[in-house]
Structure 1
């Protein structure tokens, strides 16, 4: 396949086909990268004050990725790497579907605007706007599952919640509905540039990668990896802020690293406190794992989405020219 034969799949398929393909992509991706996700969250929540000697890691404190992995395996077993997997699967399933549906719909609106108003929107700008819209919509709709995923992944040997239903009941009773949306502003502030940049990079790199012959027959995975690494690196501090805010509340002292963690309020306040107490490095703790995770996650997501959509379209009897 040459780059001139490339045609983006984001506007192809009916709404049902796009929803199903996006859901499948999110589900498969989540299962594959669950252990790396747990490691990243634990690293982001590990509090280390530059001014407080008592917060300095002890020999029993997992300070690096390998130490942390061994600590989880020793004290929590192999299943510790999949803590929070149930809400996370629900998150990735619904997020993947909502993201691709919103991205496709946003592209259709922009294309309609171009045709109606005669305005030509540059390709990269169109991808950025559609990606930012998709990320904002998907993040807001699925945020309670994201919060539950983080809280379960942050549970060490001490149980905070006995199960998913118990966690929903406890948060509702003690924190109210707003408790499910702790850190949402940081999530929105992160996802808008992240998803906008991701889709802009992805659409830009995919036709270039189409000429590169890789296993499985396409450069979708390579384009996804490159786009994800570049976009995630740019907004990672906001991801750390979001994780710190998500474990605030009545139970925050029980989570991994929470015993010494201060109370955070607001995006700007959290950034300022992390920088003052932990240095700029505190905002990037876990970035290495995040980038390692981003590569397979994005490759699996985009490759699975493209393949699933092709298979679904091939098996479908619907006329592709019908209204979508």
Structure 2
């Protein structure tokens, strides 16, 4: 049986032809809620975990080469904190991720009439566990993904900052490289997660995933660093008063 979708451009044309322009935004509401909730949980958990790990004797041990030892320690802290933050955020927001995937997987024949209807249908036919279908695969994938992402990002952030790129884009570049590296390594696990969520073949590929993930991570990390800078400056100003 020939595939329904073949290539990004053909897929775009097919969706526009059979489902109209609104078809490109299927699952957008749960996706927006997911991004807001996920980002909040992820970054707050990451910062708290990083601070806690840096106080542990395991990560404070001095070595014969202090600079190399510090770089290795910082990378290890970033990996562990990132993996833990990703696990917590994924588990807390997984039902929204599942809803987003199922809405996006619907074709011209709609399975769920609305967001509220989808919640009722899943609850009635699958129970509460239905909202967490594929969670184990999601967590299995997010541990190496977020661990690698933050480890690569924190490793590249300071060296790239010395280049003095315009508009503070060094954070965006570091985020892009970190995202592409991490996404490429763990993409097979992401495929397994999506197939468990929809219980059928998901049609897509690594290329499409990178096109989405790379700019999203660039914008996210640039915004995160700018926001943290503003809040830290505001906090210092309050302490001086």
Aligned equivalents of 1:156 and 1:102: distance in 2?
Answer: 37
Matched residue, 2:224: 305
- Measured after TM superposition, the shift of residue 207 of structure 1 is 0.8
Q: Does 1:97 align with 2:40?
A: yes
- Per chain length, whose mean CA-contact separation is higher, i.e. which structure has more relative contact order (CA < 8 Å, sep 6+)? 1
TM-score scaled by length of structure 2: 0.89
Q: Does 1:77 align with 2:20?
A: yes
Aligned equivalents of 1:202 and 1:193: distance in 2?
Answer: 14
| 1:50-89 alignment, distance < 5 Å | 55-57=1-3, 61-89=4-32
Matched residue, 1:159: 110
Distance 1:86 1:210, change over 3 A: same
Aligned equivalents of 2:169 and 2:49: distance in 1?
Answer: 26
- Measured after TM superposition, the shift of residue 111 of structure 1 is 1.8
Equivalences, count: 231
- Measured after TM superposition, the shift of residue 211 of structure 1 is 2.1
Aligned equivalents of 2:113 and 2:231: distance in 1?
Answer: 39
| Contact 2:54-2:60 at 8 Å conserved across structures | no
| Contact 1:127-1:199 at 8 Å conserved across structures | yes
Structure 2 residue aligned with 1:177, among 128, 141, 160? 128
Moved more, 98-107 or 72-81: 72-81
- Measured after TM superposition, the shift of residue 73 of structure 1 is 1.3
| 1:1-324 alignment, distance < 5 Å | 55-57=1-3, 61-114=4-57, 119=61, 122-248=73-199, 258=200, 261=201, 285-315=204-234, 319=238
- Measured after TM superposition, the shift of residue 109 of structure 1 is 1.2
Unaligned runs of 5+ in 1: 1-54, 249-257, 262-281
Taking only aligned residues, the RMSD between alpha carbons, in angstroms, comes to 2.2
Unaligned runs of 5+ in 2: 63-71
Distance 1:318 1:164, change over 3 A: farther
Aligned equivalents of 1:129 and 1:231: distance in 2?
Answer: 14
Distance 1:285 1:72, change over 3 A: closer
Aligned equivalents of 1:109 and 1:317: distance in 2?
Answer: 22
- Measured after TM superposition, the shift of residue 285 of structure 1 is 4.8
Aligned equivalents of 2:21 and 2:233: distance in 1?
Answer: 39
Three-state SS of the structure 1 residue aligned to 2:56 is helix
Distance 1:209 1:177, change over 3 A: same
Distance 1:320 1:160, change over 3 A: farther
Distance 1:320 1:118, change over 3 A: farther
TM-score scaled by length of structure 1: 0.67
| Contact 1:98-1:138 at 8 Å conserved across structures | yes
Distance 1:161 1:285, change over 3 A: closer
Q: Once superposed, which parts of structure 1, at least 4 consecutive aligned residues long, lie more than 6 Å away?
A: none
